[in-house]
Amino acid sequence: SQQGEEDPQALSIQEGENATMNCSYKTSINNLQWYRQNSGRGLVHLILIRSNEREKHSGRLRVTLDTSKKSSSLLITASRAADTASYFCATRPQGAQKLVFGQGTRLTINP
Amino acid sequence: EPEVTQTPSHQVTQMGQEVILRCVPISNHLYFYWYRQILGQKVEFLVSFYNNEISEKSEIFDDQFSVERPDGSNFTLKIRSTKLEDSAMYFCASARWTSGTSTDTQYFGPGTRLTVL
pLDDT tens digits for range A32-75 = 999 999 987 889 999 999 999 999 999 999 999 999 999 999 99
CA distance B13 to chain A (A): 19
- What's the rounded Cα separation, in Å, for the pair B65 and B47? 10
The answer to whether B44 contacts A97, with C-beta atoms less than 8 Å apart, is no
- Separation of first and last alpha carbons in chain B: 37
pLDDT grade, residue A83 (50/70/90)? very high
pLDDT value of residue B99: 59
pLDDT value of residue A105: 93
- Among the partner residues A4, A48, A98, nearest to B105 by beta-carbon distance: A48
CA-nearest residue to B89 within chain A is A40
- What's the rounded Cα separation, in Å, for the pair A54 and A45? 19
pLDDT value of residue A1: 34
Interface of A with B in 80-109 (CB under 8 A): 88, 90, 92, 96-104
Residue B100 has pLDDT above 60, yes or no: no
Interface of B with A in 4-23 (CB under 8 A): none
Nearest to B104 by CA among A93, A61, A67, A86: A93
pLDDT tens, B20-65? 999 999 988 989 999 999 988 889 999 999 989 999 999 999 999 9
pLDDT value of residue A2: 40
CA distance B21 to chain A (A): 15
Residue A20 has pLDDT above 90, yes or no: yes
Residue A97 has pLDDT above 90, yes or no: no
CA dihedral B90, B52, B49, B116 (to 10 degrees): 20
pLDDT grade, residue A90 (50/70/90)? very high
Average pLDDT taken over every residue of chain B? 92
